[in-house]
Structure formats: structure tokens, C-alpha cells
């Protein structure tokens, strides 16, 4: 089954970004938790505090209204002493409610308090979405397909099935082939141990099953782009791979 990804449509939704101040990150250990696939420890009615900034410095040239899109790009900014994680997406309440209808892996929706850095307007309608999808742990290496190709030309040499038993074995051989033989080794069809609608999440992107992508394309979300995540195909344990 092909995989698609929900991302931000930068043709209509690029001007506004959110940042996480280091002070707030230190208070809640947000980035450390996300990068290590651990829940963020938020108690009671606490919220993660972020700031909205504009990439378009010329106010007269701005075309997008703040707090209108269903996903906001989480960026880092050294000049503002702000960093970002490897995982996590800032989504609207509307997108959150739709995602809740998915067959989800272990997931969390953390309430946000986003302050417009210029007007000081505060918005409470967004969430930081964390789907814990450690793709290497969820892969069944004994039932996956592997593609060997020339490092320089990308010419495919061969495809094999079930060559490895676990990630460490695959990773070591991948490094050896690249270093010693000039050969790239990649998983061409990845067998997964569990069948979730969300296959994999990284920062600002939610990678989903093809069947889910077809449904979400018909929804009237603002500022989202559904695209084919090329060269990534998954196989499920129940045989539902069409």
C-alpha cells in the first residue's frame, strides 16, 4: 500500500510560523520528550506556550491571515533562541477532531497557548499533536523487501525478500555496503507489525495510509497539502495491502 503525507501547502500557507522559546522548552522538556517518543508531562489545565511569527517582514506584502490554517509550521530560530523537535505537528481543533476518527497509534494532543508576537493576540484553538511511531521498531524486517542499487548511478542491482531479522542487522549491512562496495541498501516495501492509519510522523508531516488520504482530500481543511510520499510502500500483517 502506498503512503501519503499531510503537510503544509506552502503555496497558500507559508507566511506564519510558530516557535517554542527555550525557556518554555526547559519548563516542560518538550523537545526531549518528542525526540525520545515520550509523552510530555503536562498537568491539569496547563498549556504549552508558543509564539506566532511571520516570515513576511513587510506587513503591506502579507496576504495570509494569522490563525486561519489547520496546520501551522513549527520552525526553529536561533536569533529568537527557539528550537524545534524531530517530531510533532501544530494542528487546529478541527483537524484534531478529524484525526481522532483514525485508527491511531499511541498519540497525544497537547493544548497550546499561541501568542501573536506583534499584536499579542492569544489563541487557544491549536494543539501539538504527537503520534508515537518508531518506524524501526514497528517494522517486521523478516517480511520486508530490500532494494540494492549503485551508489553513484542509482541503478537497481537486485531486490531481496526477508534478508534481515532486526534493525541492527539491517543497519550494519547498510553501512558496510555503502562504505565498502558503493552500494545503497533500502527497504522498498516495508512490512509493519501493526496496522495504524498513521504510519509515521515527523515534524510538520503526518504520513498516512492511502485509504485515509483519499478521505481527507474531500474535507475542507485550510492550508493543507496531501501528497504521495514516494518510494515508501508498506505491507500490513492482515494482508490488506491494496
What pLDDT, on the 0 to 100 scale, is given for residue 218?
A: 79
Mean pLDDT by 10 residues, the chain (242 residues): 94 93 96 96 96 92 94 90 94 97 96 97 98 94 97 94 96 97 96 94 95 88 93 80 54
What pLDDT, on the 0 to 100 scale, is given for residue 171?
A: 97
Please state, in angstroms and rounded to a whole number, the distance separating the CA atoms of residues 97 and 101. 7
**Nine cell digits for residue 195:** 496496522
What pLDDT, on the 0 to 100 scale, is given for residue 237?
A: 79
3-state helix, strand, coil in the chain (%, to 5): 25, 40, 40
Q: In this structure, are strands 107-116 and 48-54 parallel, antiparallel, or unpaired?
A: parallel
Pick the closest to residue 143 from 170, 166, 161 (CA basis).
161
Pick the closest to residue 99 from 214, 233, 206 (CA basis).
206
pLDDT digits (tens, 9 = 90+) for 165-224: 999 999 999 999 999 999 999 999 999 999 999 999 999 999 999 999 988 887 899 999
What pLDDT, on the 0 to 100 scale, is given for residue 241?
A: 59
Please state the domain extents for the chain.
11-132, 140-191
Q: Is there a contact between 127 and 90 (Cβ–Cβ < 8 Å)? A: yes
Pick the closest to residue 242 from 205, 195, 185 (CA basis).
195
Amino acid at each position: 500500500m502506498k503512503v501519503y503525507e499531510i503537510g503544509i501547502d506552502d503555496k497558500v500557507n507559508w507566511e506564519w510560523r510558530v516557535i517554542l522559546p527555550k525557556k518554555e522548552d526547559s519548563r516542560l522538556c518538550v523537545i526531549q520528550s518528542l525526540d525520545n517518543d515520550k509523552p510530555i508531562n503536562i498537568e491539569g489545565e496547563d498549556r504549552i506556550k508558543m509564539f506566532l511569527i511571520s516570515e513576511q517582514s513587510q506587513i503591506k506584502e502579507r496576504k495570509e491571515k494569522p490563525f486561519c490554517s489547520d496546520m501551522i509550521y513549527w520552525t526553529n530560530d536561533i536569533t529568537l533562541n527557539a528550537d524545534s523537535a524531530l517530531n510533532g505537528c501544530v494542528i487546529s481543533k478541527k483537524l484534531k477532531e478529524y484525526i481522532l476518527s483514525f485508527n491511531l497509534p499511541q498519540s497525544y494532543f497537547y493544548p497550546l497557548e499561541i501568542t501573536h508576537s506583534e499584536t499579542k493576540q492569544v489563541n487557544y484553538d491549536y494543539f501539538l499533536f504527537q503520534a508515537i511511531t518508531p518506524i524501526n521498531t514497528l517494522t517486521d524486517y523478516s517480511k520486508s523487501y530490500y532494494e540494492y542499487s549503485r551508489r553513484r548511478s542509482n541503478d537497481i542491482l537486485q531486490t531481496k525478500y526477508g534478508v534481515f531479522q532486526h534493525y541492527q542487522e539491517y543497519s550494519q549491512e547498510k553501512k558496510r555496503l555503502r562504505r565498502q562496495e558503493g552500494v545503497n541498501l533500502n527497504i522498498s516495501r516495508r512490512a509493519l507489525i501493526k496496522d495504524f492509519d498513521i504510519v509515521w510522523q515527523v515534524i510538520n508531516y503526518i504520513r498516512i495510509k492511502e485509504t485515509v488520504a483519499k478521505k481527507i482530500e474531500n474535507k475542507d481543511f485550510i492550508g493543507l497539502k496531501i501528497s504521495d510520499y514516494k518510494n515508501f510502500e508498506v505491507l500490513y500483517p492482515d494482508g490488506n495491502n491494496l
